[in-house]
Amino acid sequence: MAKVKTKFFCQECGFESAKWLGKCTSCQAWNSFVEELETTEVKTQGMNTPFLRSQEKAISILDIESVSDQRIVTNNLELNRVLGGGVVPGSLILVGGDPGIGKSTLLLQTSHELTQKGLKVLYISGEESAKQTKIRAERLNALSPLLYVLCETNLEFIMEAIEQVQPQFLVIDSIQTVYHPTIASAPGSVSQVRECTSHFMRIAKVKGIATVLVGHVTKDGAIAGPRMLEHMVDCVLYFEGERHHTYRLLRAVKNRFGSTNEIGIFEMTEDGLREVNNPSELFLSERPLGVAGSIVVASMEGTRPVLVELQALVCATNFPSPRRMSTGIEHNRLSLIIAVLEKRIGFFLQNQDAYINLAGGVKLDEPAVDLAVAVSIASSFRDQPTQPYDVVFGEIGLTGEVRGVSRVDQRVKEAHKLGFKRVIMPEKSLKGWTPPSGIEVIGVQTVAEALKVAFRE
């Protein structure tokens, strides 16, 4: 009787080891190895036969015919923006997000919109029954004769359904529930996820079916399974948001067919997800006026300018080490800006707790929010509000200078459209464009100069 062999795989990066390791030598992750049975033979006939291709010869890139595939443009403008203009036929897309955030709702609505354009869609659900999917589709008003639903987790049966239906758009919800029958590991393991994804990638490329895989996320917010899963797909989307807020953010972290800086903003309603065309109005709808520590910052998310309220609270502490907490911006960036205010401006913040929050739960990681953080901290520290219709943006250096940022014309136009009266920005960014009439644009060179303008000293 043959001896059963086992191997250990890292759940983070897929590193293979003959024995269990406490720390992965590849990605340095702790306690990430799981034991799986070793696969000694892989079937090459049966379900793989229809998708095998003949061996091709290498040719010069100049001899390859240029083919511009027509993108599948959905009725959802926010989704089109994130994908770079629409769904590319034959692409493999991975969508991740927290449980209950709205991944299945978004894909079911998208599937219905594609059927309205005459496309045949196959929705594979491994977590819900057909009746549960029908109930959710009725609530979303997403019923169509071209939308086919299959509740199956066996990869062989899913392949047969794809051959039978011949869809143009395929949804797998979720990849962690699908299993390969020839692999002894449990569904969701490293071997199963890797093997099933490779089969769906082969289907997408050979048959030209746009395929979307739904992936679970870990407690750290990353997509569960090996990191090589993200390298195999063409596009990786993260569906973000807070359970206590009604809006959701769709962010691309990898996109072979478009930009990775775009975000799509949706609002969760009783009838499903509704796209938000003007996110600045959403983030500023509940902004208080004339309150110390509140300022509006103009940020760029891809090609879209977004105005967000930034709030700061500075208060005395009873502990020897003051707290520095930030929500929406990087914690190290907050510490750097506080150090600049202490050294260059003369603020004594060593006995003050500092809290920074971007209203609405949005996250901004560009350096252009530095100046707004400094102004809001100064406003809360002095207990002196700024003018309610000011917009501030700019990058801060360690010497206290205000550095220029990109796309200032779009930021100023967005502020003018929403009725703001004054913009405080880097002086170096004033060249090369003309500000619109009706809004005052003030250029500053240092943080001290920006504070004088903001508080009219």
**Cα(188)–Cα(108) distance, integer angstroms:** 23
| 244 conformational bin, left if phi > 0, alpha if psi -120 to 50, beta if neither | alpha
**Cα(383)–Cα(293) distance, integer angstroms:** 7
- Confirm whether residue 288 is marked as ligand binding: no
Pairing of strands 263-269, 16-17: unpaired
| 394 conformational bin, left if phi > 0, alpha if psi -120 to 50, beta if neither | left
DSSP character for 30?
B
Beta carbons within 10 angstroms of residue 437's beta carbon: 6
Amino acid at 65: E
Amino acid at 387: Q
- Confirm whether residue 97 is marked as ligand binding: yes
Amino acid at 383: D
Q: Contact at 8 Å (CB) between 436 and 447?
A: no
Contacts of 1 (CB under 8 A, 6+ apart): none
- Confirm whether residue 101 is marked as ligand binding: yes
- Confirm whether residue 102 is marked as ligand binding: yes
Beta carbons within 10 angstroms of residue 48's beta carbon: 13
- Confirm whether residue 100 is marked as ligand binding: yes
Q: Identify the bridge partners of residue 148 per DSSP, sorted by sequence position.
A: 122
**Cα(360)–Cα(48) distance, integer angstroms:** 48
**Cα(443)–Cα(393) distance, integer angstroms:** 10
State the number of CA atoms in the 13 A half-sphere of 255 facing the CB: 25
- Confirm whether residue 225 is marked as ligand binding: no
Q: Contact at 8 Å (CB) between 34 and 48?
A: no
3-state helix, strand and coil shares in percent for the chain, rounded to the nearest 5: 30, 25, 45
Q: Point out the annotated binding site.
A: 97-104
Binding residues for ATP: 97-104
